[in-house]
Amino acid sequence: MTNLQDLYTTCGQSPWLDNLRRDWIENGELAAWIERGVRGITSNPSIFQKAMTGQAVYDDQFKELIASGASAEDIFWDMAVTDIESATALLRPLYDESEGLDGFVSIEVAPSLARDTAGTITSAMDLHARIAEPNLYVKIPGTAEGIPAIREVIGAGKSVNVTLLFSLARYGEVIEAYLSGLEAHAGPLDAISSVASFFVSRVDAEIDKRLDAIGTPEALALRGKAAVANAQLAYELFLERFSGERWDALVARGAKVQRPLWASTSTKNPSYPKTLYVDTLIAPNTVNTMPEATLEAFDAEGTVARTADADLPGARRVLAELATVGIDMDDVTAQLEDEGVAAFEKSFDELISSLQAKASDLASDG
C-alpha cells in the first residue's frame, strides 16, 4: 500500500492531484497517479496556462477551432472542457465506487467573475450544463460576491468547489452558504457535493515577510506556524458546524458534508519540510490537493497520522501570539484574497493572449 492509499484508508483524507495536462491523460500518467492513490483532480487558470502554452498535444484541436472561426477565449473553453471531460471519464469509476465522495474534477469560472455574483451563477450553471457529469466540480471563488452564488448554485442541485479561502470568518460564511443552499433545494440531497478550498502556504509566505520586518525574537519564532494553525482552526470550525439538529435534518435528506480541501500545500520556503502542509493537516473528511512534487514527497517520506485537530489549543495560541507581535490576520487574508483573484486573472489573460498570438502565427504561415 502506498502512503497516498494509506492516507485515505487509515485517516479518511483524500489525496488529490493539483494539475491537469492533456499529455498525462493520453500517455497514462494520470491513470498511474490514480493507481497510486490519487482520488481527484483540481485545475485553475495557472495550470491551464502552463499546459496549453507548453504542449504540442493541443495543436490539432487548436487548428480545427481556428479554422472554425472561434475566438481565442472560445478556443480556451473548448480545449479546457475536452480535458475536463476526459478526466471525469477516467475518474468516474472511483466516483461510483466511493458513492460520490471522490472522483471529482474541478474547472473554474472565469477569474474576471470573482466580484460578479450574477455572472458567476450564469457561468457555473453553463459549465454544469456543458459538462453534464456527476463528478464535476465548478470552482467558485469564496469572495464576498461569491457567497450568494455558492448558495444559488448549491440550491439548484449542482456541485461546487469553493476556492481561494484564507480567513476563518469567510469560511464560516461559505459553510452557511452551503447549508442554506441545501435547505433551499427541493429534492433529495445525495447527488450534491462540495468542498471548501482553504489555501495554506500562501498564508505563511505573507506572514513570514511581515514577521521578518518586525524582526523581534518573539516575531521570528513564529515563522512557518501561521498557515497550519489557521487551517487547523478551520477544521475545528468544520467539526462544529457539521453537527447538531440543523445538520442532522439535512443528513436525513441525504446531505454530504462540505469537506475542507487544503490547497496551496507545496512549501514556498525551501527551508521548510516538503510535506509540512500535508503532515500537519491530516484528518477524516478532508482533502489535500497537491502538485505532483508534493505527492511524490509525501508518498516517499510523509507521516500518516491524524494531526489536524491534535492540538487545537496550540493553534489558538499561535494566532494569539501573532496578534501580540502585530500581525493583523484580517488584513493578511484580505490581501491574499485580492492577490489570488488578481493572479488567476493575470494567468487567464496571459493564456488568452498567447492563444491569440498563436492564431496569428498560424494565419501568417497559411
The catalytic residue positions are 139
How is residue 93 written as a grid cell?
469509476
30 burial (CB, 10 Å; 0-12 / 13-18 / 19+) is buried
Is 131 in contact with 88 (CB distance < 8 Å)? yes
8-state DSSP, 234: H
How is residue 363 written as a grid cell?
494565419
Using alpha carbons, select from 118, 63, 41 the residue that is nearest to residue 291. Answer: 41
Half-sphere exposure of 266 (CA within 13 A, CB side): 13
Residue with cell 502506498: 2
Strands (E), 110-172: 136-141, 160-165
Strand partners, 198: 165, 262
Q: 345 in helix, strand or coil?
A: helix
Please state at what angle helix 146-155 crosses helix 168-184, rounded to 10 degrees. 30
d(CA 87, CA 19): 11
